[in-house]
Structures are given as C-alpha cells and as structure tokens.
Amino acid sequence: MKRVHKPRSTAIAGYVADGGYESWKKVLSGAASGEWTPAKLTDMVKASGLRGRGGAGFPCGMKWTFVPPKEKRGGKPVYLLCNADESEPGTFKDRVIIERDPHQLLEGILLASFALDVRHAYVYIRGEMVKGAEVLNEAVREARASGLLGTNVLGSGLDFEVTIHRGAGAYICGEETALIESLEGKRGHPRIKPPFPAVVGVWGCPTVVNNVETLACVKHVVDRGAEWFKSYGRNDRNTGPKLYCVSGHVERPGVYEAPIGIPFRELLELAGGVRGGRKLKAVIPGGSSAPMLTAEEILDVPMDFDGVAAAKSMFGSAAIIVMDETADIPKAVANIAKFYAHESCGQCTPCREGTPWLKKILDRIVAGAGKKEDLDLLLQLSNQMGNGMTICVFADAAIAPVLSAVPRFREEFEAYVARSASPGYALAAPSDVTPKVAERVAEGMHS
C-alpha cells in the first residue's frame, strides 16, 4: 500500500516511475530465451507460500497447477478471472487497491496470465464500485497505449487482453462458480462441484479465479522473490504482508497493512484502540460470515488463517469488526441476519427458507415479542441449515453469527425475551416461525 497516498497514484506514469511493470517486462523478455517459463513463475509463487486473500486461504500456486496441461485441454483456452466482487460486510481492502493503485493489480493479472497460459483475463467487479470500474478501465487503456497489453506485447509475440466486467450487485456472485455463471450472462447461482472451475469453468473452459489482493501479491513475489515474501508472516503456512480491514468501535477505522499473523492486540493498537477508552466486548475477525469471538478469546490470537481457525472462528477476508461494551449483540446479529436473508440466491431450500426464518425470529426477539423457546429454536434452525446441506457455503455463513453469538451472549438475548413478558413490550412481530418450521428446513419443505 506504499503508493496509495501518492498524488495521481492511479496514473501509469507514476507507477512506472516507481518501478512498475519492470517484472512484467523482465518475464516477457526472458520468455524468448527460456529464462522465464510459466512453470518457473508458478513454482516461485508456490515457494512463496502465498495463500488466497479472498477468504478460503487456499495456496495460490497449487491452485494454478490444477489447470490441465495444454495437451489435455482439447484446444480450449484458459481464462483468469479476478474476483473483485467485494461484498462481504466489513470488507473494503480490495477497493483501496482498485481505486488507488490499479496498475499494481493489472501487473499481477498479467504475470498470472503468463503463468497460466491465459490470453484473456477478466476482472469481475462489484456493480456498486462505479469509480473502481472507471479507474480500472482507464488503467487498461493506459497499459494498452504503452504496449504492455494487447497484441504482440513488447514484441514478445504474445497477446494479452484484460476486460473489466461490472456485476449487478449480488453478494452471492463473490462465490467463484456463481461469478462464472454471472459472467456467462446467467443468473448468479453457484454450481455443484465437481467439476471444478480449473477443469470446467467459464464457457466450459479451464478457469482460475483469484482475488484482487492475491493477484496484487503475485507482482511483489516476482519483484522481490519468494524468500522475501516468506520473510513476512508467522510461519511457512502464513506468509507475506496482509491487508486488514478494521471497522466498528475503534478510534481509527481503515485498511492496515501488516505482516500476516500480527496479534490482534497489536492490530487493535494500530487502529487507535477501542473508541473512547471503552472495554472490548466482541470481535468478528473475518467479515460477517465469521463466528463472533469474545474479548478474552481474541486478544492474543495471531491474525492469520491458522491462528483464527484455532480460536474457533474464520480469518476469511481479514475484515475485523470491533464491538465495545456498548454494543447490543442481539441487534447486531439481527442486522447480519437481515443481510443474509436479502442476499440468498434462493437455489437451495435450507438457505432460501432458513435465512428469512432466522431473520423473523431475531426480529421478533429485538422487537420485544420474543419467546423463551426462541433461543433454542434459533440454534435448532441453524444446525439444520448448514453443515453441507446446500450447494455452497452461504447458509453456513448465515448461521455463523447465530451459532457463535447466542451461546456466548445468551444472557443478552434472554434479557430481550424477559422484557417481552411485560405487557409494555408485547409488540407486533412475526410469530409464524415455530419448531415445526425448523424441522421442515432439513426436509426441504416450505412453511
């Protein structure tokens, strides 16, 4: 992120002056002599230990090796899709790269394209990121005018194209196969896997989907080498610098770059600590789909894939939502449930029917009309929605806040229910979700 605050950081002139596109030129010039090959670049990324920065944390170089060799593709081209559909509540790191240093991303895309034998890459950007799409389109135009992409790039005899495609704002299209469906002009529904995109992806061709931050990291791996990249991080499984989105009740919310694995306590200090000197109450460490942790559970956790997993949550996109002692946990969970009920694609019954029911129960509780049995009903319903009941993990994302918050902060939920016992809190609220309804989720039945 060292360039993002520079004047005119989006212009190619400034990027080139700072050493930009040198790795791209180096790789293309070395390709003619055999010094640089797709296999060499892939091995370098594998050696760096770079893991996907979009949420799953799968090793990037290994993912690239899943693409079948040329002789087994039946003449089909390989496509690279950059997933810029950043829609997870609490996540805003990719937007910074896109809007303030687009050529860094573009160079990473070109280097990955070389490694994968890709001749046409696509950036699928969230529909609401109007400015980001404009900035990326201008970056592509500048790179083409400079001969860095297009036909016979830098006299290498190789052609490389990059197309910016705006989505329509559906959260589900951040899932890689739903993204592929959307790019093909279809409704954004996740696909059943296998086959996996590396074998059968967009337009039936081998496809690799990488996150914005992941591809930006590729540029730095090639710039400085695998060992330099590995020098950042807690261990060989968690390497490189990482962008952290810190929001909520902190003094200085924003995007922070730090070695992956930085303890949460230190990251909180970078963000100025909890606002107003209040006590830390809870943290969502990886975006809204990550299980909530208490202050005691999170303070000394290394903020990387394995550290957060060991704490029984998910690192995800490193979107850290901080809540102080004034936070109303039931209302926070109800707000998250509202988001997932709205964004479910509707393809799978447990998710399509279950997410609105979760919302109804939580709305009933925070409206002051909850019942004592509602808390166990929330847990019962959640357990019958996730754990492999659906094509993708959307349902698991929707239930994570409930399954983590209700046991940890049950007394707050019970306090709302206790208030509802008073005539003064007998407010109108949905009452059509019953234990019988929860049972129907697993059976694939409607209410």
Going through 218-287 in order, the beta strands assigned E by DSSP cover 233-235, 238-239, 241-248, 254-259, 280-284
pLDDT at 111 over 60: yes
pLDDT band (50, 70, 90) for residue 445: very low
pLDDT band (50, 70, 90) for residue 403: very high
User: What pLDDT score was predicted for residue 447?
Assistant: 35
User: What pLDDT score was predicted for residue 234?
Assistant: 81
pLDDT at 202 over 60: yes
pLDDT band (50, 70, 90) for residue 440: low
pLDDT band (50, 70, 90) for residue 4: confident
CA distance 114 to 162: 13
pLDDT at 420 over 60: yes
pLDDT tens column, 25-67: 999 999 988 999 999 999 999 999 999 998 889 999 999 999 9
CA distance 408 to 327: 14
Phi, psi (rounded to 5 degrees) for 342:
-75, -35
pLDDT at 424 over 70: no
User: What pLDDT score was predicted for residue 12?
Assistant: 97
Interval 223-249 mean pLDDT: 94
pLDDT tens column, 342-400: 999 999 999 999 999 999 999 999 999 999 999 999 999 999 998 889 999 999 999 99
**Which tokens hold the place of 392?**
């993708």
User: What pLDDT score was predicted for residue 18?
Assistant: 94
Residue partners of 238: CB distance under 8 A and separation at least 6: 49, 51, 260, 261, 302, 304, 305, 306, 307
Please choose, from the candidates 99, 87, 190, the residue with its C-alpha nearest in 3D space to the C-alpha of residue 137: 99
Alpha helices for 365-393 (secondary structure H): 374-383
Domains of the chain: 12-226 (3.40.50.11540), 233-324 (3.10.20.600), 329-421 (1.20.1440.230)
CA distance 313 to 181: 30
pTM flag (> 0.75)? yes
Residue partners of 115: CB distance under 8 A and separation at least 6: 38, 41, 42, 45, 64
**Which tokens hold the place of 336?**
């998250």
User: What pLDDT score was predicted for residue 435?
Assistant: 55
Percent of the chain with pLDDT over 90: 88
Averaged pLDDT of the chain: 93
Interval 326-333 mean pLDDT: 96
**Which tokens hold the place of 245?**
């989105």
| Contact (CB, 8 A) for 374 and 415 | no
For 414-420, which contacts have Cβ atoms below 8 Å and span 24 or more sequence positions? Answer: 414/375, 416/330, 416/365, 416/366, 416/368, 416/370, 417/365, 417/370, 417/371, 417/372, 417/374, 417/375, 419/368, 420/365, 420/368, 420/369, 420/370, 420/371
User: What pLDDT score was predicted for residue 221?
Assistant: 97
Estimate to the nearest angstrom the gap between the alpha carbon of 1 and the chain centroid.
18
pLDDT at 432 over 70: no
User: What pLDDT score was predicted for residue 443?
Assistant: 53
